[in-house]
Amino acid sequence: MKTPTQFMVLCTIGLMTSITAFAGDTPDSGIMLTPEEMKWKDNPRVTGLGVSHIIGHGKKPGPFVYRVKFPKGRVVQAHSHPDDRTYTVISGTWYIGWGDKYDPDKLIALPAGSFYTEPAGVPHFISTPDGETVVQITGTGPTSAKFVDSAHASKK
């Protein structure tokens, strides 16, 4: 026969599982978005990029989650961000390289489903030569992009 302590642990786990499962079914449990429900806007600073703010906003203090849609053939020169970030490739193939200057020989291909972290202040560059690519980015605002060569900051 099981001890009373083991029985209580099993009952507690069962109750917690039931409550968690029920909470996930309620409409007040958080944010749920299908791809069709995400609102895409043109990036006002960079022509051709689409952005969908899911949680928070990179210009405001606090955590943010957004998706960015890059067209085929986009190259983003070396830059860094003041916050640590995580990236998930949602669709397409994302090419990233690390360093102070864009170098296609340093690009690493990350297909859909890939994940990586990007430390604050570390220069990197990206490219989407194969086709449209969507990435999901998480970080903590306020954030920005600081280009290694400031001449690239104003290019659209």
Per-residue pLDDT of the chain (156 residues; tens, 9 = 90+): 455 545 444 444 444 444 344 444 546 678 899 999 999 999 877 888 999 999 999 999 999 999 999 999 999 999 999 999 999 999 999 999 999 999 999 999 999 999 999 999 999 999 999 999 999 999 999 999 999 998 876 544
What is the pTM (predicted TM-score) of this model?
0.78
Give the burial string for 4-23 (b: 16+ CB within 10 Å, else e). Answer: eeeeeeeeeeeeeeeeeeee
Q: Looking at residue 156, what is its pLDDT?
A: 46
